[in-house]
Amino acid sequence: MKGLDILDWVVISAYFVVLLGVAWWVIKQKQKNTEDYFLAGRNIGWFMVGASIFASNIGSEHVVGLAGNGAGDKMPLLIYELHAWIVLMLGWVFLPFYARSGVFTMPEFLEKRFDARSRWVLSLVSLIAYILTKVSVTIYAGGVVVSALLGIPFWIGAVATVALTGLYTILGGMRAVVYTETIQAIVLVMGAGILSFMGLEEVGGWGALKETIGVDYFNMWRPNSDPDYPWLPLFLTSTIVGIWYWCTDQVIVQRVLTAKSIKAGRRGSIFGALLKLMPVFLFLIPGVVALGLKMQGKLDWSSPDEAFPVLMSNLLPSGLRGLVAAGLLAALMSSLASVFNSCSTLFTLDIYKKLKPNKPEEELVKTGRTATFFVVGLGLLWIPVITRLSDGLYEYLQNVQAYISPPITAVFLLGIFYKRINANGAIATLVGGLIIGFSKLSLEILKSSFSEDSFLYALADINWLVFAAYYFALCVAIAVIVSMFYPAPSAQQLAGLTFGTVTAHQKKENKSSYNFWDIMASVIVVIIVVYIMISFSTLSL
């Protein structure tokens, strides 16, 4: 890999000057209450909501890992980048219920729809999962990227980036996160877009790339007999995980809750869905290009995860290399800031405020800042564990969401679509489902210690995509069956929180929050998703 030169450093420095300038401007604004600090006063426009959704999703490990998938014959995983249609569901299906309920967090919504038990379970599970996966893995991957790009030791890169991101997140709250994420999204798209264009030019164009690698390589749909990525379980499980991640997870949903209205939130989700289509072209294609250049003898790398940084350092001229490096740093910082702020929100409003309900607003804001500080610290403390497990951790993290998401997805979907589901059905699904999921995960970890002809080995060996699809169906069954043994929720409790209890006035209000162009933009997103799915198949190639 080529190192960065003076012009690259000038570009990176300019990026940080602009970023910190915006963060400082936001920090100077007064943030006295929880709505200001955690939801930016619910006054953010659609453009920044959409950019924030995109930037929250794309981390440095996402960029490097997706390019690695493109270079490492894992094209079926492309389906996780075609979830733009699920982002639309956030704005069209879920947001009106969240906005009407006036909630700050997803556990708070479950309490309004069911009871406090569901809120406690989801809060604790989300916090533990964030710290042990999202925070620590993003820090680890970011440290690797920063040390490789800037030529500094891993720990210095990791701690410096975390300290900077944590500082403006703690001081500026959600408003600082949203404003800086907008800048970061623009930088990331520009940098990666230039790399994709120049990479295709270097390899000889799309036709030459297909000829070099072979058309079969681009097929994302494999037969159901495939041991790794059978197409039907892949589609079902990716959809279940997608609904959990895009429509019920605090990190993403908190972005649309900052919007000044349902209209702005929905348009933000539509814009976020359009941006979500970009990773296919911005990160996956550069990985495939890197493979093509390697096969043509123009590039060399040993691991697929090296594809993006090697392509960037060898292909881009001075200055542009700095821009893409700044984009990778932006991806790291935006993801970290999002998780830091969401962890702080969950702890302060779903745990601390429940334990001490009479605390004033200013005290809650201070608690939120303190919580962010501790999340940063816990994430750093977990890094030594990741450095020892890193060889298999990335693949493990691809699977772990399939074991967390089914019970949560089932409870939210049924909670909104089926008014007969009650609090007992919800808590049985959350607790029972999570026990099943973590049991399967534990069996996978211990798989090598079982005899190959034993029942436990057979259970551990079930493909994670196949297991997750059946697991979701089981969670739905638990929710429905348990609910039938207990009385239905009262009409007062369900008012406005399910499709069956939306009033005529609420329907009219929702209808006035969108127009023909919102519908057309959404239809275009769906058409593009279908087109990409067809394009990456042997039928079209």
Kindly list the structural domains of the chain, giving each domain's residue range(s) and its CATH number in brackets, ordered by start: 6-29+45-536 (1.20.1730.10)
Q: Which residues contact 442 (CB under 8 A, 6 or more apart)?
A: none
Give long-range contacts, CB 8 A cutoff, 24+ apart: 231-234.
231/76, 233/463, 233/465, 233/466, 233/468, 233/469, 234/76, 234/79, 234/465
Which portions of the chain are predicted below pLDDT 70?
1-3, 30-43, 59-61, 132-133, 136, 141-142, 144-146, 148-150, 154, 168-177, 181, 331, 382-383, 385-398, 538-541
For 224-259, write each residue's pLDDT tens digit: 888 888 999 999 999 999 999 899 988 889 888 888
How far is 145 from 123, CA to CA, in rounded Å? 31
Cβ atoms of residues 314 and 1 within 8 Å: yes
Q: For the residues of 226-249, what is the DSSP string, one character each?
A: -SS-BHHHHHHHHHHHHHIIIII-
Q: What's the maximum distance between 2 C-alpha atoms anywhere in the chain?
A: 70
Determine the pLDDT at residue 32. Answer: 59
Task: Name the phi and psi angles at 360, rounded to 5.
Answer: -70, 165
Determine the pLDDT at residue 467. Answer: 92
Determine the pLDDT at residue 408. Answer: 94
Determine the pLDDT at residue 168. Answer: 63
Determine the pLDDT at residue 263. Answer: 93
How far is 326 from 192, CA to CA, in rounded Å? 10
Cβ atoms of residues 254 and 174 within 8 Å: yes
Burial string for 507-536 (b: 16+ CB within 10 Å, else e) reads eeebeebbeeebeebbeebeebbeebbeeb
The helices-and-strands tally (H runs, E runs) of the chain is: 26, 0
Q: Which two tokens stand for residue 164?
A: 């900077």
Determine the pLDDT at residue 304. Answer: 78
Q: Which two tokens stand for residue 25?
A: 């401007």
Determine the pLDDT at residue 521. Answer: 95
Q: How far is CA 169 from CA 175, 319, 343, 369, 370, in A?
A: 9, 29, 11, 8, 11
Q: For residue 230, which of 418, 437, 463 has the smallest C-alpha distance?
A: 463
- DSSP-assigned beta bridge partners for residue 430: none
Q: For residue 343, which of 142, 537, 148, 56 has the smallest C-alpha distance?
A: 56
Say how many C-beta atoms besides its own lie within 10 A of residue 219's C-beta: 16
Q: How far is CA 54 from CA 76, 129, 170, 189, in A?
A: 21, 21, 21, 10
Q: For residue 176, which of 11, 361, 369 has the smallest C-alpha distance?
A: 369
How far is 217 from 231, CA to CA, in rounded Å? 15
